[in-house]
Amino acid sequence: MNYNIAVIPGDGIGPDIVAQAVLVLEKVGEKFGHTFTLKNVLAGGSAIDATGHCLPQETIDVCKASDAVLLGAVGGPKWDTLPGDQRPERALLGLRKELGLFANLRPAMIFEELAEASPLKAEILAGGLDIVVVRELTGGIYFGQRGTKETDLGPAAYDVEQYAEEEVRRIAKVAFDMARKRSRHVTSVDKANVLESSRLWRRVVAEVAKDYPEVTLDNLYVDNAAMQLVRNPRQFDVIVTSNIFGDILSDEASQITGSIGMLPSASLAKGNFGMYEPIHGSAPDIAGQDKANPTATILSVAMMLRYTFGLTAEADAIEAAVKAVLSQGYRTPDLFTGQGHLVGTAEMGRRIADAL
Ligand code: NAD
């Protein structure tokens, strides 16, 4: 079978890590008999340099004509002085909007071999950790009405949190579908004791839950959820929440794992289309030095195979290869604690590809 993938290496370490993810993808193709047709396109700082725009129309067109998108990372000090609406990171918002990516999936898992990297005590994490945060990505306060106005207290600014029932319903379905394939537990996070939009959120999630009798639903206020994530993270399976709460909680969840270079993410549209990228940024401090950990991007490829292409065995094989290489003691500098073998970006990628 042939699959079309738009590839956006981006800036900083983006090209370094994407090269390794492509190597792994090609190895999967060889081993399992698939053809992956890759088309490289520009976004972010490199696109600004080449075309004057962070998200050229050609990139949007190629992404729309593909089955999935693989993205490295964008941004860097070279473009930091540009006004907000012209910065490389703006390309991410543009891609989400143009491609209709309304659901952001961020797994926070701990590989046994890396348990010591977590800032939490070993007894809190005994037995491992495997959470997915499902964040609504195209609604809420980040996209609501905003403005400035005069008030009795002087100049003021406002941003509006608004959710339509349909926006909540579709993200809740993504979360319940996912929970069905995992430990069958959804925790919906809101602030329903204060916010009207959260009360609507909670009501709609409860309605969706009726279609999934085998999945347990809990509701938590966001302040309590933030606390529970560090007190007892193992109580969670799938967390579903709004754009702003998900932004914060998914960063908190990823910090629990202690290794930013290990965590993948997926942003999904209606149907099977998705954009896959590591959760970290372009790490300009180590770009082009063969120091970046390519594993988050390689695991993003595994998510692509699983969620967009339905290639479960192939996704499992990549995850097993990552585990095998970690258990053999290979570590990029971000994970190296003095024991095992210190390797660079290219060797890590090659070893994972070879372990397939
Ligand atoms: P960052 O994630 O790029 O880096 C934070 C720290 O983690 C740095 O010390 C970096 O060296 C390290 N790090 C990140 N990824 C790593 C990897 N794979 N292997 C080893 N170490 C890794 O965050 P930042 O420094 O805040 O941002 C740098 C640039 O990236 C900024 O321009 C920012 O806007 C952009 N950014 C882009 C995205 C994206 O493209 N999705 C996300 C976040 C930040």
For residue range 178-218, what is the model confidence (pLDDT) as tens digits? 999 899 999 999 999 999 999 999 999 999 999 999 999 99
Q: Contact at 8 Å (CB) between 34 and 27?
A: no
Catalytic residue, from 247, 290, 291, 323: name it: 247
Give the chain's mean pLDDT: 95
pLDDT digits (tens, 9 = 90+) for 331-353: 999 999 888 999 999 999 999 99
pTM of the model: 0.92
Q: Is 130 a catalytic residue?
A: no
Query: CA 345 to CA 237: how far, in whole Å?
Result: 31
73 lines ligand 1 (CB under 6 A): yes
Distance 88 CA to ligand 1 centre (A): 13
Per-residue pLDDT band for 221 (boundaries 50, 70, 90) equals very high
Q: Is 191 a catalytic residue?
A: yes
Res. 114: pLDDT tops 90: no
Q: What is the CA radius of gyration of the chain?
A: 20
Distance 292 CA to ligand 1 centre (A): 10
Residues paired with 62 in a beta bridge: none
Residues paired with 71 in a beta bridge: 8
Q: Where are the beta strands (DSSP E) in 138-273?
A: 146-151, 154-159, 185-190, 216-221, 238-241, 264-268
Is residue 128 classed exposed, middle or buried when 0-12, 13-18 and 19+ CB atoms within 10 A define those classes? exposed
Q: Of all residues in the chain, what percent carry a pLDDT higher than 90?
A: 86
292 lines ligand 1 (CB under 6 A): yes
Res. 37: pLDDT tops 90: yes
Lowest mean pLDDT among 27-36, 123-132, 225-234: 123-132
Q: Whose CA is nearest to atom 13 of ligand 1?
A: 283
274 lines ligand 1 (CB under 6 A): no
Per-residue pLDDT band for 127 (boundaries 50, 70, 90) equals confident
Average pLDDT over residues 58-73: 98
Distance 261 CA to ligand 1 centre (A): 9
Distance 206 CA to ligand 1 centre (A): 37
Res. 7: pLDDT tops 90: yes
Token reading at 122: 């070993």
Per-residue pLDDT band for 135 (boundaries 50, 70, 90) equals very high
77 lines ligand 1 (CB under 6 A): no
Q: Contact at 8 Å (CB) between 9 and 86?
A: no
Average pLDDT over residues 30-43: 97
Residue 110's pLDDT is what? Answer: 87
Q: Which residue type is seen at 306?
A: R
Q: Contact at 8 Å (CB) between 239 and 132?
A: yes
Residue 85's pLDDT is what? Answer: 81
Residue 194's pLDDT is what? Answer: 97
Q: Which residue type is seen at 139?
A: G
Residue 57's pLDDT is what? Answer: 97
Residues paired with 103 in a beta bridge: 136, 268
331 lines ligand 1 (CB under 6 A): no
Residue 333's pLDDT is what? Answer: 94
Average pLDDT over residues 143-150: 94
Q: Which residue type is seen at 37?
A: T
Considering only residues 27 and 117, tell me which one the structure prediction assigns the higher pLDDT.
Answer: 27
Catalytic residue, from 39, 97, 142, 323: name it: 142
Distance 284 CA to ligand 1 centre (A): 7
In sequence order, the 6+-apart residues with CB closer than 8 A to the CB of 211 are 176
Q: Contact at 8 Å (CB) between 291 and 333?
A: yes
Residue-wise DSSP of 77-123: GGGTTS-GGGSTTHHHHHHHHHHT--EEEEEEEE-GGGGGGSSS-HH
Nearest one of 219, 247, 59 to 139, comparing CA atoms: 247
pLDDT digits (tens, 9 = 90+) for 262-291: 999 999 999 899 999 999 999 999 999 999
Catalytic residue, from 223, 285, 316, 354: name it: 223
Q: Where are the beta strands (DSSP E) in the chain?
A: 2-10, 35-40, 68-73, 103-110, 129-136, 146-151, 154-159, 185-190, 216-221, 238-241, 264-268, 274-278, 330-331, 341-342
Do the bridges between strand 146-151 and strand 154-159 make them parallel or antiparallel, or are there none, so unpaired? antiparallel
351 lines ligand 1 (CB under 6 A): no
